[in-house]
Amino acid sequence: MGAVSRMSAACALAVVAVLLLISSPPAAAAAAPELSVDFHAASCPQLQHIVSYYVEDALQREIAIAAGLIRIFFHDCFPQGCDASVYLNDTAASELRMPPNLSLQPKALQLVEDIRAKVHAACGPTVSCADISALATRDAVVVSGGPSYDVLLGRKDSLAPAREELVLELPSPRSSTIKELLDGFKNRSRGLGEPADLVALSGGHTVGKASCGTFQDRADRQEDTFSKKLKANCSRDSRRLQNLDVITPDAFDNGYYIALTYNQGVFTSDMALIKDPQTRPIVRQYAQDKAAFFNQFAKSMVKLSNVPTLRLDDNNGEIRRNCFASNKAPRVVVQDTTDDEDEGFAASA
């Protein structure tokens, strides 16, 4: 009986060991580094000063770069998390060649690379393009009059662009229903499913411009006085750039929402915000209370920066030596080949 008991005990221990092996995560699935606002405090104490200095200098020369930085940040983070994948321009699969990103502002893209060069010259290659982009976006919001918020740092840069199906989930300016927009924000556990997130992030349009082709559907319907004006303006000059905030186009404030209450939204997606009962009260609140908008915008930007990163197993990230190319690829410079300015935040957010 003693021998049998010892055999039974041994079998039980073997079963427990197997169960532990099955339930334990593989070594390759180790947790990502913890993000924090002071992640680079020791390795690059000058970081925030360098970024804010060059962002402010750029915006003093051309305020439109603020809209470019905000929109690039959204287009980077929304598909697969904030990993600077949108900057990669070293392969045919570049996100910059995909339809939602064709009008991303070259000057804003280049500014982040220029700041990266300054940061690496001061501290060595310790800070990712993803972190620099996040800081530059926050500083652009502040310099143009908007709220400040904490930026968590410590991200790595993706080795490859996001897959096209993820990029194509970026919301379209032609989206006519709030359900379409909210579904995209909720998809893939992005954590942006609250109507307040959609309305607040749409407020990035307060410093943006758009070319006629991006709001042609609204102009063609001519359903109100403002859309008729859009149609007439574009008929006279198809290359005309339209302010998305027709009240205070160069200031980050709540003018965009005030304009919406007068049915003066440029995109179909803008008008959806004031027409839908889920979002109409939020638009009106922000139109009346700039502080309420600033408070929610700051919260929603932090949420956006925390969209889960989706990467393949062999793409654990790096600190790029050039924002436009992975470290194994040749250097690439983004050329400014268009006169169009940026149309603000995202196509509809």
Residue 248 annotated as binding site: yes
SS3 for the chain, per residue? CHHHHHHHHHHHHHHHHHHHHHHCCCHHHCCCCCCECCCCCCCCCCHHHHHHHHHHHHHHHCCHHHHHHHHHHHHHHHHHCCCCHHHCCCCCCCHHHCHHHCCCCHHHHHHHHHHHHHHHHHHCCCCCHHHHHHHHHHHHHHHCCCCCCCCCECCCECCCCCCHHHHCCCCCCCCCCHHHHHHHHHHHHCCCCCHHHHHHHHHHHHHCEEEHHHHHHHHHHCCCHHHHHHHHHHHHCCCCEEECCCCCCCCCCCHHHHHHHCCCCCCHHHHHHHHCCCCHHHHHHHHHCHHHHHHHHHHHHHHHHCCCCCCCCCCCCECCCECCECCCCCCCCCCCCCCCCCCCCCCCC
Residue 313 annotated as binding site: no
Residue 206 annotated as binding site: yes
Residue 265 annotated as binding site: no
Name beta bridge partners: 241: 211
Residue 289 annotated as binding site: no
Choosing from 40, 49, 75, 120, which is the catalytic residue? Answer: 75
Residue 180 annotated as binding site: no
Residue 40 annotated as binding site: no
Residue 83 annotated as binding site: yes
Residue 205 annotated as binding site: yes
Residue 171 annotated as binding site: yes
The question of whether 40 is a catalytic residue gets the answer: no
Annotated binding site for Ca(2+): 76, 81, 83, 85, 95, 206, 245, 248, 253
Annotated binding site: 76, 81, 83, 85, 95, 171, 205-206, 245, 248, 253
Annotated binding site for heme b: 205
* Active site positions, annotated: 75
Annotated binding site for substrate: 171
